Structures are given as structure tokens and as C-alpha cells.
Structure 1
Amino acid sequence: MATIIQPRICKLTKQEGQAFGFFLRVEKDTDGHLIRSIVKESPAEQAGMRDGDRVLRVNDTFVDKDDHHQVVEKIKTYGNQVTFVVLDDVSYVNAKKQGSDLIEISNLNSKFIQPVINGVNGKTAQPKLCYLVKESSGYGFSLKSTEGIPGLFITEVSSIGVAAEAGVQLNDRLIELNGENVENFTHEQVVSKIKGAEDYIVLLLVDEESDKYFKNKKITIVAPMASVKNLPYQPRVADITKGPDGYGFYLRDEQGHQGISHYIRDIDPDSPAEKSGLVDGDCLVAVNGDDADQLEHEALVEKIKKCGSRTTFLVADSQTHELYKKAGISPICYWNEVCKPHRHQELEIETPNQTTEAGEEQRFKLRHIFKGDEGYGFILDSTEGVQKKFIKQVVAGSPAEKAGLEENDVLIEVNGVNVEGDTYDELVRRINQSGDRLSMLVIGREEYNLHEMKKIPTNSFLSSAETPELASPAAQTEEQSDGQLDGQSDKQSDRQIDKQMEESNSEEPIADSPPEENKERAESISSSSPEEESDDDTQM
């Protein structure tokens, strides 16, 4: 009987200057590109790579038949994030014997593939927050402790109780109760706390498989790591486009559930604020994904001004704020989990009338990036002789990442001007002159390569691409505890966010541009060949 062959997906992410933590080898009398010498706690180990695995694909490119150095160059090209499709040693040997089609079974859409994320097969290792409202019969679960085994575990979950509805499962381990860590509490202490709670409780739990993963990696489980998708009350996203009279609300600092917070007040009828769904008393959690609680009132007002004519707020009503406080987390966790991975998709430009010969839609992406204290947060590839301009690196947590810019995106336009013919220096100069906001039209590298292969001019797909209106730095505000965002210009002009934006032609170099003398940004890879005639060995 044929052996079941099941490739795995391993997604590796490393920091700049860090290695992936494995050697890629070609060994004498052994087929394939082998994974060897995996470094403990490295990105390779955390992604689920195993010694002896064979690399079948690198970012969806089949490489099993490629030369060793070709594979190394492919890996280098993709920078700090690379997706590998691998097959364990025994399965690889058996697949060769059976004459299996490795190209087909390693396809990223193949039914054979088993995802490995954070080292846990088929799922992400993650704790969970469960919100339980007490019924007359209780919460619908029991707790147990076992002598010699630390921790308290969920048992006897009622199938029709509130615990099951909230996502509580058998053998989940209890980490926190109402934001307080109870891992070292006795059974009696935890039961007493549950009985003494109000009509609802918030539990931080971890399932059995994820718990093993975190213990193996020596990772302390805390509430901000948890998924918030199951919580009954969630923050709201409000996309606001500024009107002729401004946004139409006041921003005030007030005492809230967690100290001084920023609150939406005095919303004008039929204003952009009201139409976006803002409600009087909403707490402003984030502006364009940046945590508002980290900013003083004046700095937050200035940030909103710099957003230009459109901005995105994350807000929470009092009930939501209270729930997140009880869970021991900030509502910004909702943005990081639910909104951040998908917000950039709304800016993608679809051109349904333009297709490749295969009938596939081509999609350009328009990215609006607001400059931060450390620059925009991306590095351009500066390799000499490379005509196309692409993004070499996107700094984690930077404005570029928050705007949806991705590594290996190919740059087509900057502020509505085509830059495909620009030199590296001309492109850097153009970006420097953009002030505090930059608009970039980009396309994924693979789609760009498809354009070149099909000899399709990129400008033939840009007819529907709007030229973005750039926002320049806002004027300074007076020190207040109350900032009006409605554009009125009478006695309250000292506390409003101005409609007029000042022009800026800053010549300050962008912090994230590579220095002039450093034309080669590709990181070095040390290579050695213990047996030059047969073995290749490259540290990744």
C-alpha cells in the first residue's frame, strides 16, 4: 500500500540581521535540498522545520530540481519573510520510489498539505478569552486540580451551558480570572473568587495542544496574546471623511475606566462624525491603528490633523471598555487581531477589464503612508543594475506596515507620478519631498513578473487608479484639554483642528533609505562546501 505523503507549510519570519536558523545542504548520494542543524528557538524551529526535511517550494516556486545556489538566491531575494513547503525525510524517499508528482502535491492549494503555524499543526497556538454570564444553574463547567500537576483545568463542560457557548472546552487550563493570574492559586481560592464575582466572569484559557507548545518554548501566557473574537462586545471602526465644516465633534480628555482617556463629545447633527457611527461618549482607542492612549491630548489632536481629509478611528463604548478592562487588555488588541491584517485590502485597486491571457485579474495596491518619528518604516532595494524598484524591507510596527506595504512590492507610482524610469537617487529624492504623507502605487512582485512575461505595460492597468491628494503637516494647536474637530473658525479657533494644511517641502533624508554608498542591501550568506565535488552547505 502506498505511503501517505503530506508536505507541510513552514512560514519563517526573522528580524533584520538575524538568521533563519538552519543550514540548507545538498549531500552526496542524497536527493533534494536538506534542512540541517536547526538552531534551538530560531525562526526555523518555531515554524516547525525538522532536521532532514526536504525543501520543495520557496514562496510557491518549486525548487526540488534547482541547483543549490539557485535555491539560496531565491531565499535571499525574499528578505525576512519566506514560506517553505517541506517534506520529511521518509516521505520524500518514499515519494521518489513511488514516482509521485512532487510538483502537484507541494502546490500551496494542494489537499495534501498540512499547515504548520508557530510549530502547531493546522492551527495557531493561541490562548483565548471567554466571557461567561452566570445563569441560575451556574456557569456550566467544573474545575479540577491533579496532585503533582500544576494548574487548574476545565472539566464537565455542560453542552447547553454558557461556558460551552463562550468557547470553554474540556481540559482547557485556566490562566487568568477577571484579569488576575491564578496559575498558582489553590482550587479553593479560585472557586471562592468565582463565587464572589459579579454576574459575569472573564476567563483566560489555553487549550491542551497550545499549552504544550508554549511550555516547550518557555513562553509566559498573558492576556494580550489571546484572541478577542469571541468576546460579546467589540470596539467599532469608524472611517471618517472630512466635510466642508470639518469632522463635526469635540475631543476631550476625561477620567475613564482606566485613568484619563480621550472621549468623543458634542457631535454635530448630520456631520461626518455622526454619519460614520460615532456616538457621544465613545472612547477613542486608536487613530489609523496607532494607540491613542499613548498620546497626550495635544499630540493626538496634531496626529488627527496630519491625517488630512480622511482618517480611521477605533472607538469603544462604555460597556466594551469595561469588558476589556475586566479581561486585563486594551481594546487596541481588537485592531491588532481583527482589523490590522485586513485593512490594507480596502485600498486595493481592482481593474476587472484588464486581464492576463489566463483571465486572471491584475490588482494594484494604493498605499497611503503617514510618516512617523523614525520615518516611513521601509527600505528600498538599492542593488546596482536592477531596473525595477521594489521594497526590500518593511519594519515591523512601522507606518509602512500599518498601511499594508509588503516586502517585495514593486513600486509603480509615487504621489501619482510613474517612477519606473527613475534612478535610485531620483526616487529617494522624490520620497524626501513628500512631507509627512506618501502615496505609493505598488504591485506584488510575482504579478509584476507576469506583466513582464506577458509584455503587458503597467500603465495599461492604471486608468482607474486615483491620484491621491497629499496631506501636508498641520498647524500647531494651543495647549488645551478640549479639541474641536468641526472646522468652525470663530471664538473656538484656538482649539479646533484646522482645515487648512501648511505646505511642506522638507529636504530631510528619509531615515529608512539605504545610505548612498551602500548599493547592495541583500544580506550576506556564509557558504562552505566540506566536499566541493558533492556537497553544498549554506547557513540561512
Structure 2
Amino acid sequence: MVARRIRASGPRVLLAVAAAPAHDPALLCAPLGPGVRPRLCHVVRDEGGFGFSVTHGLPEHPGSFWLVLSPGGAAERAGVPPGARLLEVNGLSVEQLTHSQLRRRLRRSGAQVTLLVAAPEVEEQCRRLGVPLAAPLAEGWALPAGPRRLHLQEGPRGFGFLLREEKGVGGRLGQFLWEVDPGLPADQAGMRAGDRLLAVAGESVEGLGHAETVSRIRAQGSRVALTVVDPEADRFFRMVRLSPLLFLEGAETEDPPGEDAALPPAPRGSRQGSRRCSLYPGPGGGYGFRLSYQAGGPRLSIAQVTPGGAAARAGLQPGDEILEVNGRPVDGEQDVDRLHRLAEAEPPLCLRLGARSPRGWSEL
């Protein structure tokens, strides 16, 4: 079991070990809450460049770099905190680099760069707890792609997809989803041909053979939850050398099935129940959706979703009704203004969604 979990962790793994049995296991992996973890930030160059400059320590201490942000620049919009220490560029450590080598690495990144950074308070917290500033502990901000959770209810014609073992990004064997039948449960859940399967019912299947993966799926019965990643996201996480399963915060989740678990799948374009999702701003600083308000019907709903934006990656669709915002129920027209203000607040934006029909819209 331990070996399987290590294999499933991707190219990098973080282990907590005890030097002697007398050590308290509760102290080995002290939890780091939101805001006190390193950040993995994806920065897209704009007319002002990446929006940061680099300062460094003494020449005899290469690899000590800090970022000075341009107000309102690309790095600030991507979630880089003020005074952050730079730890990695595109998945590679800067610890042994000189300032000129770092500049060359940033130039070679082109129009986009992914940075692992730590704010001063994060460094202090990790030092106090004895926790390394390690990439597997990072929270993702404005990442260009991410994993998705799919919830399937088997229909009379099955789930409607084919699972096949083949080589993926980097030539590594994996389990891939193909031949997604239009209108069947897999298609309704958002499965795309070419998705790679990461987990079944929340348990990683990385490193498992085809037969064992199929057995895991069949063991779930008529309802199955799959975590998948598309080829674009697969390439990104391979570049930063991290498992996509570490960054599920923005992936769509559904409430646990209740009494309606035995019902047939909902018609295409609608959903039963409600679900929650957490959104982080995209490279341009927005969440990538427009709002609709209707006084006499569904109060607040999604009118339009920008393809490839933060909302699209989190699974939002036109017609989704907004039931709660950051834990507070939505109950009137004033919530439109409240959502606009929340768009400028500290991420994530946490929504509870239902399914409704859109009428009119306003931009967010």
C-alpha cells in the first residue's frame, strides 16, 4: 500500500519520517492551512511583461531570490504575494542558479511561466513547524489547467465510454478514456475523449494495470466517481513535475448521493441536486463568467462561461443557478453587486450551484 501511494504521487513525493518511535506522529506533518502554504502561480506575460523584477542575496549565496511586484501587473494578478521568495521556475529549483542564469531561464519561458513562491509569513510558518517549502505542499493559483471530477450514473446502455491502456505524455503507460458516446452518462458528466484516468472514488489508480483499474470501476456499481485530466493539463503537470491530484481545489464536486441515488441520469443539459465549486482568478484576473438576474424566477444564474477560463475549468455551465456565495445564501438583486465586490476579494470564490435557465446577464 505504501509503495503504491508513493508511485501515485507523480515525479515528486514528500515523505514524513520519524527518527525514533518516541516521536509524536502528530508532529510529523503539521497541517498548513490556506494562506500559509507555498503557491504555484502561472503568470502570463502582458504588455508590461511578467510584472515582477528579481532581487537576490549575496553572491556567495546563489539561489536566494525575491520578487518585487509591479502594482496591477501580471504576477500580482496571478496570485504572487508581495515580497515572495522564488523557489522554482517551471518545476525546476532556482537554488543553485546565479542571477544571470535565472534571467536566462525566465527569458526561455516565452509568454508564460509557472513559479513556485513563498510569502515571508509562509517561510516563517514552515520554519517554525519544521516543514520544507516543498512543491507538493503548494496551493495552485491561476493554473492554466487542472483535474476534473466526473460523477456517472449508469444508464440502460451502460456508462458510454471505452477505457484503454496506452502511452501518454512522456511515454508513461496510463488508462485513457475514449469513444465517449453522445448523450450517454459519461458524455453528460463532461468526459472528453483522450482524458486520462487519475482516480476512482477518490483513490488513485496511477501505476495500476488495466485489469485492476477496470475492477476498481466495476466495484463501484451503478454510480462511479472518476477523476480525470485532459492532455493539456497532463502536459502542464508533467512540466512542473507534480501529480494533478494535488490540485483538486477548483475541480467540480457534487453533494453525496441521497435518496435520489437510484434515479436514472438527468436529461442532457440539466443536473439533479446541487454542487459546490471553488474558483481562482485566471491569468487576466477575472473568473470567466457572466451573470443573469431575474426577479420573478431563478434569482441569480450563470449566463455565459468563457472557454478555457477559471469558471469553465471548475465546471460552470450557462444556466447554473447560484444558490450560495462563500457560504451565504443568494436571495436578491443586491447579490449581483456583492458578487462584483467578491471578484476583487481574496480567492477562492466559493459557489454552491443548481441548474436553471439563463435570462439576461451582467459581466463579472
- Deviations along 1:53-88, one digit per CA (max 9) or x if unpaired, are xxxxxxxxxxxxxxxxxxxxxxxxxxxxxxxxxxxx
CA contact (8 A) 1:131 1:201 kept: yes
The residue number in structure 2 matching 1:318 is 231
The answer to whether the 8 Å contact 1:153/1:171 transfers is no
* Residue in structure 2 matching 1:307, options 198, 215, 220: 220
Name the SS for the 1:329 alignment partner. coil
Q: Give the 3 Å change call, closer, same or farther, for CA 149–217 of structure 1 in structure 2.
A: farther
- The equivalences for 1:154-165 within 5 A come to 154-165=66-77
Q: Which has the larger radius of gyration?
A: 1
- In 1, Cα distance between equivalents of 2:29 and 2:163: 44
Who is 1:131 aligned against?
42
What is the 5 A alignment of 1:216-235?
A: 216-235=128-147
Matched to 1:239, the amino acid is H
Q: Are the equivalent residues in 2 in contact too, given 1:141–1:154 (CA < 8 A)? A: no
1:406-450 CA-to-partner distances (Å, cap 9, x unmatched) read: xxxxxxxxxxxxxxxxxxxxxxxxxxxxxxxxxxxxxxxxxxxxx
CA contact (8 A) 2:67 2:86 kept: no
Q: Among residues 162, 171, 178, which one is paired with 1:265 in the alignment? A: 178
State the match for 1:146 in structure 2: 57
Seen in structure 2, the aligned counterparts of structure 1 residues 149 and 219 have a Cα distance that, compared at 3 Å, is farther
Give 1:42 shift.
6.0
The amino acid that maps onto 1:296 is G
1:312, 1:324 → 2: CA distance?
A: 22
Q: Secondary structure at the match of 1:346?
A: coil
User: How does the TM-score come out when normalised to structure 2?
Assistant: 0.59
**Structure 1 residues 288 and 296: alpha-carbon distance in aligned structure 2, compared to 1, 3 A threshold:** same
TM (norm. structure 1) is 0.40
Shift in alpha-carbon separation, 1:150–1:192, aligned structure 2, 3 A: closer
Amino acid at match of 2:98: T
- Give the corresponding residue for 1:416: none
Distance in 1 separating the partners of 2:156 and 2:116 = 47
Structure 2, gaps ≥5 residues long: 1-17, 260-364
> Could you tell me which residue of structure 2 aligns to residue 294 of structure 1?
207
Cα deviations across residues 194-224 of structure 1 (Å, max 9, x unaligned)?
1112321111111111112223444332221
1:121-178 per-position Cα deviation (integer Å, ceiling 9, x unaligned): xx55311100012224321101111227664333331122211111112221111111
Alpha-carbon RMSD: 3.0
Q: Of residues 155, 159, 170 in structure 2, which corresponds to 1:243?
A: 155
Q: 1:185 aligns with which of 62, 77, 97?
A: 97
8 Å Cα contact 1:202/1:326 also seen in 2: no
Map residues 133-532 of structure 1 onto 2, 5 A cutoff. Answer: 133-147=44-58, 151-258=63-170, 259-335=172-248, 337=249, 346-347=256-257
For 1:229 and 1:186, how far apart are their aligned partners in 2? Answer: 27
Higher RCO (C-alpha 8 Å, min separation 6): 2
Deviation string 1:432-480 (CA, Å, 9 cap, x unpaired) is xxxxxxxxxxxxxxxxxxxxxxxxxxxxxxxxxxxxxxxxxxxxxxxxx
Query: Counterpart of 1:267 in 2: which secondary structure?
Result: coil
Residue 309 of structure 1, CA deviation: 0.5
Distance in structure 2 (CA, Å) of the matches to 1:189 and 1:150 = 10
- Contact 1:134/1:200, CA 8 A, preserved across alignment: yes
Alignment gaps of 5+ in structure 1:
1-14, 22-40, 48-116, 350-540
Give 1:327 deviation, angstroms: 2.1
Aligned CA distance change for structure 1 residues 348 and 171 (closer, same or farther; 3 Å) = farther
